[in-house]
Amino acid sequence: MEQSNKQLPDSVDGSLKWSRSAKDMSPEYLKKKFGDKLAFKGCISTTGPLAYGSVDDIKTDVRNTLEVMMPGGGYILSPTHSIQSNSPIENVLAMYEAASIYGNY
């Protein structure tokens, strides 16, 4: 099966057909379209609040992401990619603190 990081399947039925563009990668779309068929990991951007926002920004981002991705299960909170050295340690700690507060099933 040929895959691309920039495309999504039209359906999930054992044989994936890739045709959706990256514009459909929002957590809201993914959860609505595939949340009953797939599990997700990530959704915390390493180029957004984690790297460039305040502690409050990342806590809000984590809370908002969890509100979208947790219902019905199938979500593991984590950064989308490896945490880079430009991410303040305070923000990284705030991400995990917010996860422990808002991310309980």
pLDDT tens-place string over residues 12-66: 665 555 555 556 788 999 999 889 998 999 999 999 999 999 999 999 999 999 9
Confidence class of residue 105 from pLDDT cuts 50, 70 and 90? confident
Shared domain check, 60 and 31: no
Per-residue pLDDT at 3: 47
If one counts the domains in the chain, the total is 2
The answer to whether residue 60 sits within a structural domain is: yes
The answer to whether residue 96 sits within a structural domain is: yes
The answer to whether residue 2 sits within a structural domain is: no
Q: Do 45 and 80 meet the contact criterion of CB atoms below 8 Å apart?
A: yes
Shared domain check, 90 and 47: yes
Q: Do 79 and 65 meet the contact criterion of CB atoms below 8 Å apart?
A: no
Shared domain check, 48 and 78: yes
Provide the whole-model pTM: 0.79
Q: What is the pLDDT of residues 52-87, one digit of tens each?
A: 999 999 999 999 999 999 999 999 999 999 999 999
Would the pLDDT of 4 be above 60?
no
Q: Domain limits at 56?
A: 39-105
The answer to whether residue 1 sits within a structural domain is: no
The answer to whether residue 30 sits within a structural domain is: yes
Helix axes 27-34, 55-69, angle to 10 degrees: 20
